[in-house]
Structure formats: C-alpha cells, structure tokens
Structure 1
Amino acid sequence: MEKQLFYVNLNPISMDTINPTRVDDGQLIEYEIEATPAEKKALEDLLHEVQSHDLELGNLFTFRHFDDSKIDDDRNEYQRGLNDVYEELYRLGTAETKEKIREIHMINDDQ
C-alpha cells in the first residue's frame, strides 16, 4: 500500500481526527505523518482509546476522585497511552514531525 500524508493534532476535543489537509490554526500543533490506510486506522484507534480514557479522568460525578491511588493509576495509564501515541507519531512522522517530537522530549532517542 502506498503511504499518504496526514495531519494529526493532539487537541483533546479532536484528538482522534486525522486529516488529509492541514488545519489553518496558528494555535494548533499538527504532526505530519506518512501512513498507509491500515497504519492510519491503527493510529486513529489508539488516539480514540487515549481520548476516551482522558474523558474518564475528567468524570467528576464519581467518588473515584477521592481515592489518590486510583487517580495516580488513571494518570499513569493515560500517560502510557499518550507515550504510545508519540511513539507512533514519531515512527510514522516526517523529518519535521520527528524533530518536533525530539524537541519536546517525548521520545527516547536511544531506540
């Protein structure tokens, strides 16, 4: 399969949307990737999973937020998911994307 260019942003509201064109918004950080349809779908699924978990963390209508160990577990799980997203963005990313990710120290350069 031939790879195509796509643009990914990690805005919590539209995190699981991968666009074939850039969004014209100077406030938005977009990551340019090259992906096959299967790779795009896998990344969309990962983004959706992380975004869904982020929404769970924001649920203030439960008593889970009083349990510090649960909160720490939830935050750690969300961070692991976000780390997986950055690793996948780095793997699929263009040279510019890889540089952006290295600049924010979201990838282990020893890999």
Structure 2
Amino acid sequence: MEKETYYVNLNPISMDTLSATPANDGQMIEYEVRVTPTEKEALEQLLHSAQKHDMELGNMFSFRHFDDEKVDQDKDDLQSSLNDVYEAIYKYGTDETKRQIQEIHLVNDDQ
C-alpha cells in the first residue's frame, strides 16, 4: 500500500484526527508521519484514546477529582495512552519527526 504524509498535533481539541496539510501555526507542535490507510486508522484510534483520557482529567464538574485513587488512575491511563501515541508517531515519523522526538527524550532507548 502507498504511504501518504499526514500531520499530527497533540492539541486536546483536535488530536484525534490526522491532517493532510500542516497547520503552520507557530504555537502548535506538529509531527509529520507517513502511513498507509490502515496505519492512519490505527494512529487515529490511539489519538482518540489519549484524547478521551485527557478529557476525563478535565472533568471538573464531578466529585471524581476529590478521589485520589481515581485521579491517579486517570493520570496513569492518560500517560499510557500518550506513550503509545508517541511510539506510533516515532514509528511512522519522517526523519525530522524522529529527530524531534529523540530530542525531547520521548522514545524508549531500550528497544
């Protein structure tokens, strides 16, 4: 299958989709990836999962934020989802994307 170039940003509002065009927004960090349609769908599912966990942390209209165990679990779930996202971005990323992620130490060097 032919790989196409897409752009990933981790803005909580729009992180669940890949864009075919860069946002060219100096305030936003974007990562360039090359994926097949199947890989694109899998990456979007990871992004959606991370976004869902991020929204759970933002839910301040419940008493859930008073329960330390639930808050800790939400944080762990979000971090795990973000780790999966960064691993996928690194896997499918262009050389520039891989360099950016290595610079911020978001890849497991043990692999």
TM-score scaled by structure 2? 0.96
Work out the percentage of aligned pairs sharing the same amino acid: 63
RMSD (Å) for aligned C-alpha atoms = 0.8
Is 1:92 paired with 2:92? yes
The letter for the 2-side match of 1:96 is: E
1:76, CA displacement in angstroms?
A: 0.7
Aligned length: 111
Deviates more, 1:20-29 or 1:83-92: 20-29
Q: Which runs of 5+ in 1 are unaligned?
A: none
TM-score by length of 1: 0.96
Tell me what 1:21 maps to: 21
Amino acid aligned to 2:24: D
| 1:50 matched residue in structure 2 | 50
Counterpart residue number, 1:71 = 71
| Structure 2: tracts of 5 or more residues without a match | none
For 1:78 and 1:86, how far apart are their aligned partners in 2? Answer: 12
Deviation at 1:110, TM superposition (A): 2.3
Measure, in 1, the Cα distance between the counterparts of 2:76 and 2:29.
24
SS of residue in 1 equivalent to 2:25: coil
Distance 1:90 1:73 in 2: 26
User: Once superposed, which parts of structure 1, at least 4 consecutive aligned residues long, lie more than 6 Å away?
Assistant: none
